[in-house]
Structure 1
Amino acid sequence: MKALIGVMSEELIRKRTLAIAKGDYKPEPGEPKVWFTSMIALAQVLSNENIALLRLMDKQKPATLTELADLSGRKISNLSVTLKTLNSHGFVRLEKDGRSVRPVALFTDFDIQVNQKYATMQAQEVA
């Protein structure tokens, strides 16, 4: 399970999104679906600890957040914040099952692309 992640400036991400919405640009099949504005922003979400957590979830398949907390040695409050962040970026799915939540890792490996074709094209237009 590998995610393709792109990194480019916030301005270029905004322009790309608007161009897609207007129909002026159609993303190619191999382009990233998840974008970050910098490597620093990416590293804050996909830290070594969070990648290890995703891999643990994929291997152990915990049924609840409590079980994942026990497996990972992390406190539920900290774990909950991390999972919400990973969920907001599309790396985790949180499945509600009655009163409990089952965390599911959607990706365990990552390809990071910087300076995409679209970013280069936009940069040339701005220059």
Structure 2
Amino acid sequence: LCDKSGPEAPALTILSLLERVAGIIDNVQSCQQRMEERQLELENNIKTIQGDVLKLAKDHTDTSGTVEKLLQKTRKVSANVKEVRTRVEKQNVRVKKVETTQDELLTRNKFRVVIYQVSQEEPRLSDSLNNRFQH
């Protein structure tokens, strides 16, 4: 292993190799440190995303409950509207019957509507009838 340059040549080769190995190790450690930093950053991002997903799930549950309540109220209102519509339709039928009957009576001249406006100065009909029968 000894060559013409003397005993220092193999020592320089070993030293050179050791420096290269040290450089490679430094490079690997640097890469490893960057990877660890990125790993921590990713973990933090994942925790943030998990928190956001949990909040979104809670908000979704709250919204779902609110929508369900609104749907129930809408169903109740719809049922009430149907009931009112049915009652109004029945009342319309009754009103039309009354109008028809009124028209028939008016055409037969058997039904007359007289509107009196009673003032305090005019004697009441009941008073005038009482006076008539008393005399």
TM range (shorter): under 0.3
Task: Work out which of the two has the higher radius of gyration on C-alpha atoms and give 1 or 2.
Answer: 2
Structure with greater helix share of residues:
2
Higher strand share: 1
TM-score by length of 2: 0.16
